[in-house]
Amino acid sequence: MQTTIQLDEALLAKAAEMARKKGCDLSDFIEETLREKIATKSTASHPFVHLTTVGGTGVRPGVDLDNSAALLGVMEQRG
């Protein structure tokens, strides 16, 4: 499929240079790069976060770190 997009001139020049170094045409390079970016986003649904606990056993029972509204409720109860 053919489409038209607008790109910053410096970005286009860099992409063209990278495609040339890789030995492929600009369209193939852009398509491959876009596929990689989309694949990375779809496989990284939750970014890695390291939580450190000190002097405890971890998260209290019933606390869901993926539910910000419930977590806020738990935090407000402690105050």
pLDDT at 79: 53
C-beta separation of 73 from 63 below 8 A: no
What the block records as the tokens of 16 is: 């063209």
Structural domain span for residue 29? 9-43
27 located within any domain: yes
Half-sphere exposure of 63 (CA within 13 A, CB side): 14
Cβ-contact 53, 60 below 8 angstroms:
no
Phi, psi at residue 51, to the nearest 5°?
-105, 130
pLDDT per position as a tens digit, 6-58: 999 999 999 999 999 999 999 999 999 999 988 876 665 566 677 676 777 77
Q: Is the pTM here over 0.75, yes or no? A: no
Contacts of 65 (CB under 8 A, 6+ apart): 51, 59, 71
Number of domains in the chain: 1
